[in-house]
Structure 1
Amino acid sequence: MEPFWPRKSSHFLACRRAVRPVHTNPDHPAAIGLSGGPDSLALVAAAAAEGKHVRAVVVDHGLQPGSADVAARAAEQAQRLDVPAEVVRVDVDTVAGTGRAIGLEAAARAARYSALFAAAGSDADVWVAHTADDQAETLLLGALRGNPAGMAPRSDRLVRPLLFLRRAETVGACQELGLETWDDPMNHDPAYRRVAIRQQIIPALTELLGGDAVVPLAATANRIAEDRQLLESLADLEPTADCAELAADPAPVRRRRIAAWLIKNGIPVQGDQLYAIDGLVTDWHGQGPITLTSGRTVTRDAGHLHLV
């Protein structure tokens, strides 16, 4: 297969270098989430060129007409690269197990990751093709919710080999390889916040700075992810609703445990609401329930937090 790879390929070489140090072997392979877009196709190609023990999993969300054809073409692209591929169809449920409605993006993401890990099995990692541009967008989205976040290059079995590469590298790599990429129309709809940030906010920040805003934003997100991983290694961040136990924790640990408790119960974390719930623990004077964006409320009773 090696002669297929172009000899002069600066973008593809950057993708290969990013994938090279990521470990895979026959006893611990990886399943790559493949959408057919340039990021995930470049990741599959780079893994193949580096001889990684991988296979591609294409998740068909069934949200758009012709989605089955798009998924089939993505799988064919992977097979052209000598990477085994399978298509998994999922049902996107916008009602959580608690009966709470969730956004389409969040529901699709939950269904996708569930399918990827199920297809990978217990002995394989899952690789996804997030880039530095995705990292910058994630930081801003989290900050707008009062909960700035960063993605780690590796978290348990989830691996992001391209996290320090720019999106232009993956697009260029696919062009160098002559791969047919799919341009998801949802990636151009500003009704989705991530798209609006990509199309409007980051370009405005770049103009304001007089330089590429993605670079400092992604660097900040990387530091947040590193700090979070360090804190997780040093402290007990298990979810709990026990107010006495929470009150004994330092503030950063306490808030993360409250956030973990919310997430465990299917509630998205919003910064202002998190601080208000924190007040039920540290400044309790009989105040009323905290209303969450989901419509549910958090109360304190008998020394414990309760979701109603």
Structure 2
Amino acid sequence: RLYPQPRIDDSPTTIIGFNHVGINVLDLDKMLAFYQKATGYELLERTVVANDEAADELFGQKGISYESAILKGPNMLLELREFANQQDTLLKKMPPQGPGITHTCYQSAMTASGFARFKEAGAEILTRGGAPVDLGGYGVTYAYAYDPEGNMLELEQMSERLIRLQIGTEWARQHPLWMTQVAIISPDLQRLVAFYQRVLGIKPYRMGSYAHNPGFDKIANLDSLAFDAAWFGMDGQGKKLELMQYVHPPTPPNPPPRALTAPGYTFSFEVLDIQQEYERLKKLGVRFVSTPQVLGPFRTVFAYDVDGNVFALRQALQDTSIYSLQNF
């Protein structure tokens, strides 16, 4: 396979990749039905957490109560959480220009279109014309869409040739829809890149400025779109951390850091030694919500990046855990 270099395998840290993309939701039943229909991912568990001291410590709030559902994709987990303290929250759609964690991405073969699956499940298509856009004839089509609660997602359809080179034909045949990225939009791209370079211990494998392409305008439904971007190579098929700053329309300033229970995206890096990574990142000035806590199948700790976005570190309690990247 043709993997980007460097990638997380080259890091001197114990980070091994993205473990999960999470979405804090208001209606777990509705959102779980949507994502199960769109992805076909296996439901590993559905759990209620309440009256749990470790959960209170982990989230930095007393009386934390939530229900979660964990879906297993072919290369990472998709987790949905409904918190009891967010039921009066008003939902709004995430604009493409951010700021914040704006979307994750689902890739598929053109012959087994993920776009078609999400559209059939009821996704609201943002991309102009209601169909994926071919940016340059290099074997990928792109579209943006919204789930039922206004969380944006990207849908990429790949040619057989590109799948053979980057993903693996047999793997893609066995896993027709896979997750690839966490996308964070920032008003200060250079600062955010520097932060994640320190966290991950590797440099971006690609950086660039992009403009004057009508295809971009169609995908994001924005006129004269221009942006700067950087990508960090993660683990497995197609996985990357995508950092962007919109130049036109400009990415707005960051709001105050949102509550850990607020609706929207979160994500985690899986690590082999969470205490080591916690101590390393604390020395680098990373702000944590708590010390690592045991909750469910992981030791977990939440942190904020320099823009106030929430991410987590996770270490599986057992090497044989079905929730660990080591056993996907």
TM-score, normalization: structure 1?
0.25
- Which protein is richer in helix relative to its size? 1
- Larger Rg computed on CA atoms: 1
The one of the two structures with greater contact order (alpha-carbon pairs below 8 A, sep at least 6) is 2
- Which protein is richer in strand relative to its size? 2
